[in-house]
Amino acid sequence: MKTKKMNPKNRRLSSGLRKQTNKQSIHVKGNWKAIDLDPSLFSEEGLEGLVCFEELTSYSLIDSEKAATKAAKELKKEKKKTKKRKVSEGEQESGEQADVESKEGGNTTEPAKKKAKKKKNKKLAAKESVQPGDASVEDASVGEEGEKNETATEDTSKDSSAISSEHDAQSKPSKKKNKKKNKKKKQKQQIEKKATPEEKPDSESPSSECQVPEKVKSSPDKVTKAPKKQVKNWTNAALSGSDVKNADVSAWKDLFVPSDVLKALSSLGFGSPTPIQALTLPPAIRDRMDILGAAETGSGKTLAFGIPIIHTILEWRKGSERRADDNKEPATELESLYLPAVDESTIAESTAGSSAQSASEQDGEGNVEAEEEEGESSAEQDRGESEEDASEGEHSAEEDDEDTRLGCVKVIENAEFDFDTAAEKEKPAGGKNQPLLGLVLTPTRELAVQVKHHIDAVAKFTDIKTAIVVGGMAQEKQRRMLKRRPEIIIATPGRLWDLIKEKHPHLTNLRQLKCLVIDEADRMVERGHFAELDSLLEMLNTVHFNPMRQTFVFSATLTMARSMPIRLLQKKKKNLDKRNQLEILMERVGIKSKPKIVDLTRKEATVETLTETRIHCQKEEKDFFLYYFLLQYPGRTMVFANSIDCIKRLNSLLVILDCTPLPLHANMHQKQRLKNLERFAERDSCILLTTDVAARGLDIPNVQHVIHYQVPRTSETYVHRSGRTARATKQGLSMLLIGPDDVMNFKKIYKTLGKDEELPMFPIESKCMETIKERVNLARKIEKVEFHNSRQKQHNSWFKQAAEALEVDLDDELLIGRANDEDADREQQKMVKGMKKHLKHLISLPVFKNVIKTRYPTQMGKLSLPHMPLAGVESALTHVSMEKNRQKLKKHVPSQRKNKRQKKEEQQQ
């Protein structure tokens, strides 16, 4: 039996159970099988925590103590054997000397070793007995980890994987760390061995580097450098989405992709480049051109800039090795031959000047933005302001305190320093002169994390280091990470600018920067959004200017770029054409030379595999249709709204309605944001309620539906939001809920995107709506009372605390509501409890009262469940396309009849 949350009583019970199973455990032979339950059971007293019943079809009981001793004996035997083998090998290899050494070593450390081994064996055996079957020694160690964390909540166990990647391993208990240390040291030694000059492939000719290596074609498993262990996160799920592993990568052969990257592409199953990759890689790698790339959402733009950066770094390394061989100037100084020397004071001036300027700019633009939002967010439901994507500037001391608690960077930190000794920790792997070679700027923190993972995935057979520098995570840890001098940094502008201002050693000389990427460029350079970006770009284009730097500017809506809010453009009647908009963008980014423009976007800007639909309704009806859709079409669904408060309200409502949604917005702690993203990517059927912080770039696999609870304010946002589904040639569905307030925005978007056809209406089974409305209305009542109460409590507690701090008597008039009326409070609580119970009952009933008449098992022995008519039977997409065909037929049949009638009349005449 599975329960939602164990109360302490149950926990005690379960530990008792565990004790029992430690003595007598089961050997699982068959499968766990879910048993359908009468839904009314869920609302019965005392069974609130019940989630489901599962039956184990086949098993046998085993005595785990016996199993443990048996396993321990076998292990001992095995160890003895291997020891003997090693000793005899050692004797053969190094003869007498080794013999003496082994004896000496044996004398001094043998007893301690034996003890440790005994302990270890006991532990391993015990673990094997808990999970009988074919548990290997490795499995047992995994089990050990699991048992250690047994008492930890699901949250903490997942934390560690939240933002870790190949280069950022998880934080582990110290024992595990030691094991890891040794492992990683060994790996490191192996890599170093393999990276010795004589073993390296001939790197002189670029053509040889870019050819598809035989190894990759024939056996891509055989690799020169050990890939780092993959950890679980939403990006890895996307990157391992392909069924084909070790793909033939000959389709990449003319694109100048480095051989190590080809190996990685092969292992990821990326057999051929996407169109944007095929068209950008040669000009970027071979011709080192600046790139302006526009291609639809989910078309693989990340690798279109990621691969050229890796190539550039690998080339730079070869060059620096060559230069070192020739005893020339150190590589880091080469660029400065034709660049003015960097004067620390100039940098200080530049940072001070540009920050002052950016602050004033931000003020000015901020007002414009506020004005725009004020005018557009009048919806009563949305109790709050609209949010900025990644408000990076505000790093209070409080935030940093929070950062320390967040743990996200803890993961990174551990990964970076795990296997090094204290002295090595501070030592940058690429030498103390290793400059920053690649910088990727993204508008949101989550996107930065994702881009890092994508680059790491294709750089896994190189030892290129990447790091993320984003707000919401501990600054101190990011500083330490930068000390390792990673070649690539993926950053959001605010935090990066902070670290530049404080002159972090790795960021003081950005003239060495070889590649600069502005991802989601149209958003990034939108005036007033990233004041720090302006300062950064100004610095890169003046004191830190490098004429050899290559710039990449990418977005799915690049050619739709606006230099200022549309409303102002319209006011000033400035009709900028595509070309001009791009020129403005280029100027701001600092692209001086003629760039290669690759525009693969369609006229409609959205993806062809996306089915767009809409529902027109009153504002109050949106909740009904949203709940209807979520019940009727379970799956991975992202629900977007324009403000944080709207998301908060929807979250409370859907929680009350038992839909277990996951919220995501900029007012959440960074750790929770990442955790929710991961959970969303893990669950097959799940709802992510989000603001536009998740609109751009996020690549969560298999998102089936995108619902625009409110129509976005710009066409770009519509394109990006919708682009979270229907990615990488997959099908997807988007649905707009259009209330009276949204009509203007909808028309604007429709016009801008030049849609030829009318968006189809989303088909609704109106016979369900009565039940849906009943549930939602009751949930809304509960939410309203709870929301009101929580605000009241917040308000009153603030005043009480303030009065206490000031040591003054609090005037009761300052408190809202019946602050001191405990009876009324109790009464209200009772009422809410009653409403919740009633709602639970409603939810347990079938949506169609007349369809399921009995609560008892049917003749087939199956229990009837309160399914929606199409839930799990027909997908939203199928339903829409069937409805489309029906509509077509409807139009077609009368005209056919008309034609027939006409023909008949003609014949008669």
- The minimum distance between CB 463 and ligand ATP, in angstroms, equals 22
Three state DSSP letters for 386-450: ECCCCCCCCCCHHHHHHHHHHCHHHHHHHHHHCCCCHHHHCCCCCCCCCCCCEEEECCCHHHHHH
- The minimum distance between CB 584 and ligand ATP, in angstroms, equals 21
Region from 43-51, 139-147, 300-308, 661-669 binding ligand ATP, contact rule CB under 6 A: 300-308
Residue of 485, 727, 748, 775 interacting with ligand ATP (CB under 6 A): 727
Angle between helices 301-325 and 445-458 (to 10 degrees): 60
In the sheet that 610-616 helps form, which strands lie side by side, from edge to edge?
Answer: 610-616, 732-738, 705-708, 636-640, 686-690, 662-664
Please report whether residue 239 would count as binding ligand ATP according to CB under 6 A.
Answer: yes
405 contacts 477 by C-beta, under 8 angstroms:
no
In the bound state with ligand ATP, the residue whose beta carbon lies nearer, of 299 and 563, is: 299
Residue of 213, 220, 298, 635 interacting with ligand ATP (CB under 6 A): 298
In the bound state with ligand ATP, the residue whose beta carbon lies nearer, of 140 and 257, is: 257
Please report whether residue 453 would count as binding ligand ATP according to CB under 6 A.
Answer: no
In the bound state with ligand ATP, the residue whose beta carbon lies nearer, of 387 and 699, is: 699
Please report whether residue 273 would count as binding ligand ATP according to CB under 6 A.
Answer: yes
In the sheet that 2-3 helps form, which strands lie side by side, from edge to edge?
Answer: 2-3, 50-56, 32-35
In the bound state with ligand ATP, the residue whose beta carbon lies nearer, of 241 and 428, is: 241
Q: How far apart are CA 163 and CA 674, in angstroms?
A: 7
In the bound state with ligand ATP, the residue whose beta carbon lies nearer, of 521 and 556, is: 556
Within 459-529, residue ranges assigned H as helices are 475-483, 493-501, 521-524
Residue 490 sits at φ, ψ, to 5 deg, of -115, 125
* Backbone region of residue 152 per phi and psi (left: phi > 0; alpha: psi in -120 to 50; beta: other values): beta
> Bridge partners of 615?
737
Residue of 301, 452, 649, 721 interacting with ligand ATP (CB under 6 A): 301
> What DSSP string runs through 733-763?
EEEEEE-GGGHHHHHHHHHHTT-SSPPPBPP
Region from 12-20, 291-299, 647-655, 801-809 binding ligand ATP, contact rule CB under 6 A: 291-299
Give me the amino acid identity at 5: K
In the bound state with ligand ATP, the residue whose beta carbon lies nearer, of 482 and 607, is: 607
In the bound state with ligand ATP, the residue whose beta carbon lies nearer, of 730 and 855, is: 730
Task: Give the footprint of ligand ATP on residues 646-665 (CB under 6 A).
Answer: none
The 8-class DSSP code of residue 599 comes to E
Q: Build a one-symbol-per-residue string for 303-332: x at contacts with ligand ATP by CB under 6 A, - elsewhere.
A: x-----------------------------
Residue of 159, 168, 446, 699 interacting with ligand ATP (CB under 6 A): 699
Helix, strand, coil percentages (3-state) for the chain, rounded to 5, are 55, 10, 35
- The minimum distance between CB 275 and ligand ATP, in angstroms, equals 10
- The minimum distance between CB 304 and ligand ATP, in angstroms, equals 8
What sign has the CA pseudo-torsion 614, 620, 624, 626? positive
Residue of 556, 650, 659, 677 interacting with ligand ATP (CB under 6 A): 556
369 contacts 644 by C-beta, under 8 angstroms:
no
Please report whether residue 274 would count as binding ligand ATP according to CB under 6 A.
Answer: yes
Task: Give buried/exposed letters for 793-803 (b at 16+ CB in 10 A, else e).
Answer: eeebeebeeee
Region from 181-189, 268-276, 576-584, 593-601 binding ligand ATP, contact rule CB under 6 A: 268-276
Please report whether residue 539 would count as binding ligand ATP according to CB under 6 A.
Answer: no
In the bound state with ligand ATP, the residue whose beta carbon lies nearer, of 671 and 727, is: 727
484 contacts 432 by C-beta, under 8 angstroms:
no
* Backbone region of residue 554 per phi and psi (left: phi > 0; alpha: psi in -120 to 50; beta: other values): beta
- The minimum distance between CB 305 and ligand ATP, in angstroms, equals 9
Please report whether residue 238 would count as binding ligand ATP according to CB under 6 A.
Answer: yes
- The minimum distance between CB 268 and ligand ATP, in angstroms, equals 7
Region from 173-181, 293-301, 773-781, 810-818 binding ligand ATP, contact rule CB under 6 A: 293-301
Please report whether residue 728 would count as binding ligand ATP according to CB under 6 A.
Answer: yes
- The minimum distance between CB 534 and ligand ATP, in angstroms, equals 23
In the bound state with ligand ATP, the residue whose beta carbon lies nearer, of 297 and 710, is: 297
In the bound state with ligand ATP, the residue whose beta carbon lies nearer, of 477 and 727, is: 727
Q: How far apart are CA 909 and CA 906, in angstroms?
A: 5
* Structure token pair of residue 689: 């309620």
How long is the chain? Answer: 909
Q: How far apart are CA 119 and CA 440, in angstroms?
A: 49
Please report whether residue 270 would count as binding ligand ATP according to CB under 6 A.
Answer: yes
How many CA atoms lie less than 13 Å away from 284 in the CB half-sphere?
34
End-to-end CA distance of the chain: 78
Residue of 160, 164, 299, 637 interacting with ligand ATP (CB under 6 A): 299
Q: How far apart are CA 503 and CA 637, in angstroms?
A: 43
* Structure token pair of residue 870: 């199409």
- The minimum distance between CB 561 and ligand ATP, in angstroms, equals 14
Region from 160-168, 295-303, 413-421, 537-545 binding ligand ATP, contact rule CB under 6 A: 295-303
647 contacts 689 by C-beta, under 8 angstroms:
yes
In the bound state with ligand ATP, the residue whose beta carbon lies nearer, of 75 and 291, is: 291
Residue of 39, 723, 732, 866 interacting with ligand ATP (CB under 6 A): 723
In the bound state with ligand ATP, the residue whose beta carbon lies nearer, of 552 and 625, is: 552
Q: Is residue 299 packed enough to be buried (19+ CB in 10 Å), middle (13-18) or exposed (0-12)? A: buried
- The minimum distance between CB 556 and ligand ATP, in angstroms, equals 4
Please report whether residue 171 would count as binding ligand ATP according to CB under 6 A.
Answer: no
What sign has the CA pseudo-torsion 597, 600, 601, 603? positive
Residue whose pair of structure tokens reads 């933005």 in the numeric block: 369
In the bound state with ligand ATP, the residue whose beta carbon lies nearer, of 301 and 410, is: 301
- The minimum distance between CB 446 and ligand ATP, in angstroms, equals 12
Q: By CB under 6 A, how many residues form the interface with ligand ATP?
A: 20
517 contacts 309 by C-beta, under 8 angstroms:
yes
Give the DSSP H or E segment for 789: helix 769-806
> What DSSP string runs through 649-666?
HHHHHHHHTT---EEE-T
Give me the amino acid identity at 234: W
In the bound state with ligand ATP, the residue whose beta carbon lies nearer, of 302 and 386, is: 302
Strands 686-690 and 610-616: unpaired
In the bound state with ligand ATP, the residue whose beta carbon lies nearer, of 301 and 445, is: 301
- The minimum distance between CB 208 and ligand ATP, in angstroms, equals 23
In the bound state with ligand ATP, the residue whose beta carbon lies nearer, of 550 and 606, is: 606
Region from 173-181, 269-277, 641-649, 820-828 binding ligand ATP, contact rule CB under 6 A: 269-277
Residue of 143, 300, 407, 661 interacting with ligand ATP (CB under 6 A): 300
In the bound state with ligand ATP, the residue whose beta carbon lies nearer, of 42 and 530, is: 530
In the bound state with ligand ATP, the residue whose beta carbon lies nearer, of 220 and 723, is: 723
Region from 299-307, 530-538, 611-619, 810-818 binding ligand ATP, contact rule CB under 6 A: 299-307
Please report whether residue 302 would count as binding ligand ATP according to CB under 6 A.
Answer: yes
Q: How far apart are CA 591 and CA 587, in angstroms?
A: 6
Residue of 486, 565, 634, 697 interacting with ligand ATP (CB under 6 A): 697
Name the site residues for ligand ATP (rule: CB under 6 A): 238-239, 270, 273-274, 277, 295, 297-303, 556, 697, 699, 723, 727-728
